Amino acid sequence: QAHLRSIPAINAGNATGTTGFVTVTGSAPYFTVTFAGILAGDGVGPLDEKAVFSDGIGAKGDFRIVARSGEAAPGTEDGVFFANFAGPSMNARGRTAFQAVLAGPGVGDAQGNALGLWVADRHGQLRLAARTGEQIEVADGDWRTIAFIGFAEGSGGDDGRPSGLSD
């Protein structure tokens, strides 16, 4: 059984990253890592300091930002952006999934549309999978509104615990 000892500093322009919740997946020696963390440094402020990182996008050990607070949230209306992130999950293929809290015009608890679930492919392309306030058809002609999104975070599926993203 392998253990993650440390994660190297993350470079994001002039910012460096510190780690938060870490998910490790894969088989030795080919582990893939994803985590939510905080950026610090020149030009980083409270609106853009949070991020989801992964080395499943490029070369192993080459951590890249999957999503960052303050950035436009793909699949949402103009002006809607990521405000915060829950612990991400990753599958054995290097795809990352995470929950995010949204902010922007027309977004909030009163509207019931401030939480979403995104999935990133191995190239880092983000897709909105579900969002509170959206409607889904659960049976022919039976539409329901998503009120809450639950997500099993923190496991890559190789440790016997539930995973938020399967292969």
pLDDT digits (tens), the chain, 167 positions:
322 333 444 545 444 444 454 555 554 455 667 778 787 777 788 888 888 888 766 666 677 788 999 999 999 999 999 999 987 887 767 778 899 999 999 998 878 999 999 998 777 789 999 999 999 999 999 999 999 888 765 555 555 555 555 55
**pTM of the complete model beyond 0.85:** no
Tell me the CA distances in angstroms from 67 to 61, 76, 110, one per residue in order.
18, 14, 25
Among the listed residues 98, 63, 96, the one whose alpha carbon sits nearest the alpha carbon of residue 83: 98
Identify the pLDDT of residue 37. Answer: 79
Identify the pLDDT of residue 7. Answer: 46
Distance of CA 62 to the CA centre of its chain: 17
